[in-house]
């Protein structure tokens, strides 16, 4: 019997634990990318006429305003209750409506559940356009169409929410297991029946999590949509800001902060349980 040292196979047949050849050194690419970022940043700063000296020359104005904002006028609270409730109502209504409307649009925007390429491209294009338009701009246009008040703010939030929910949930839908759907097809189910029975249950946690996320966004957004006449706290903010009443403004900011933190804490807890 002969003995010898066995050589480890190389190439494709090498064992999983074998060491692979080291990749070529690519440090120069990182330095190049960093240099490009620095150059673009400097050029952008010059293009907008950025001047650090403006901060140094006007720091006292900012310090005075911050000092006023640190002294909320709590006696102003009764005047903020109704606008604050209107802001929350706008956020809840917009979230509920957009969540319902987004369900069919999500299936139409996914390449897995929508085999029609033309319809898929059309839905995704519309969603991209909706997301590209800031909600404040949408609210300004809607105010000119339907008048001032909460309605244009709600409509603007609904449009913005649909763009976010459809985008995020459809991407999650693209990554789910399609095996159960193929089995449903083999059993004679239609496209709608197969999607409802096998695909929808897989994305429900993601759908609910994104719905809670847009609820948080709505509270923040609806509090400033009033700056263009779209109801909520924004109307009150615009009023006190116009008269440079920073103490009442500080109270409004504090209220928004508390409400957002509470909603974020509750929604984060719910999202963790859904995960």
* pLDDT(269) > 90: no
Extract the tokens encoding 142.
């809607």
What are the tokens at 152? 């244009």
Other beta carbons within 10 angstroms of residue 241's beta carbon come to: 14
Angle at 186 between CA 183 and CA 190, to 5 degrees: 95
Please check whether residue 271 is in contact with residue 205, taking contact to mean a CB–CB distance below 8 angstroms. Answer: no
Query: What is the Cα–Cα distance from 118 to 123, expressed in whole angstroms?
Result: 9
What integer pLDDT is reported at residue 57 of this predicted model? 76
Asked if pLDDT for residue 160 goes beyond 60, the answer is yes
Q: How confident is the model at residue 8 (pLDDT cuts 50, 70, 90)?
A: very low
Q: What is the mean pLDDT of residues 138-157?
A: 90
**CA atoms 201, 206, 212, 215: torsion sign:** negative
Quick one: 225 exposed, middle or buried, by C-beta within 10 A (0-12, 13-18, 19+)?
Answer: buried
| Among candidate residues 167, 171, 152, the one with its CA nearest the CA of residue 214 | 167
What is the domain partition of the chain in residue ranges? 28-66, 75-274
Please report, for residues 4, 10, 86, 107, 186, the alpha-carbon distance to residue 182 in angstroms, rounded to integers and kept in the order given: 53, 40, 47, 16, 6
Kindly state the percentage of the chain with pLDDT values over 90.
34
Secondary structure letter of residue 272 according to DSSP: H
The topology under which CATH files domain 75-274 is: MetI-like fold (1.10.3720)
Q: Buried (b) or exposed (e) across 4-13, using 16+ Cβ within 10 A?
A: eeeeeeeeee
Q: Whole-model pTM?
A: 0.77
Cα–Cα distance for residue pair 20/31, rounded to 1 Å: 26
Confidence of residue 23 (pLDDT cuts 50, 70, 90): low
Is the CB of residue 50 less than 8 Å from the CB of residue 221? no
Say whether pLDDT at 16 is over 70. no
Q: What is residue 126's predicted lDDT score, i.e. its pLDDT?
A: 93
Query: pLDDT by residue (tens digit) across 44-99?
Result: 988 888 777 777 777 777 777 788 788 898 999 999 999 999 999 999 999 999 99
Q: Which residue has the higher pLDDT, 6 or 233?
A: 233
Q: Compute the mean pLDDT over every residue in the chain, rounded to the nearest whole number.
A: 84
What was the pLDDT predicted at 6? 47
- Residue 20: what pLDDT? 55
195-235 pLDDT tens trace? 888 899 889 988 998 898 899 889 888 888 888 888 888 88
State the first-to-last Cα distance of the chain, in angstroms, to the nearest integer.
60
């Amino acid at each position: 019997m002969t003995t010898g040292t066995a050589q480890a196979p190389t190439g494709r047949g090498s064992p999983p634990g074998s060491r692979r050849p080291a990749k070529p050194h690519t440090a120069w690419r990182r330095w190049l990318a960093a240099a490009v970022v620095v150059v673009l940043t400097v050029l952008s700063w010059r293009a907008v006429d950025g001047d650090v000296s403006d901060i140094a020359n006007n720091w006292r104005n900012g310090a005075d305003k911050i000092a006023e904002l640190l002294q909320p006028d709590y006696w102003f609270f009764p005047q903020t209750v109704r606008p604050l409730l209107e802001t929350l109502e706008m956020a809840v209504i917009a979230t509920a409506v957009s969540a319902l409307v987004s369900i069919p649009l999500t299936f139409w925007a996914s390449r897995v559940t929508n085999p029609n390429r033309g319809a898929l491209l059309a839905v995704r294009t519309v969603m991209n356009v909706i997301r590209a338009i800031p909600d404040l701009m949408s609210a300004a246009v809607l105010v000119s169409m339907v008048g001032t008040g909460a309605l244009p703010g709600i409509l603007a939030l609904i449009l913005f929410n649909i763009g976010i929910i459809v985008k995020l949930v459809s991407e999650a839908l693209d990554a789910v297991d399609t095996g159960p759907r193929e089995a449903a097809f083999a059993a004679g189910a239609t496209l709608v029946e197969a999607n409802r029975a096998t695909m929808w249950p897989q994305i429900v946690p993601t759908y609910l999590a994104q719905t809670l996320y847009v609820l948080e966004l709505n509270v923040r957004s609806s509090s400033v949509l009033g700056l263009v006449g779209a109801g909520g706290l924004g109307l009150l903010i615009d009023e006190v800001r116009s008269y440079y009443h920073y103490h009442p403004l500080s109270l409004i900011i504090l209220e928004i902060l508390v409400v957002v933190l509470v909603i974020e804490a509750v929604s984060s807890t719910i999202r963790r349980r859904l995960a």
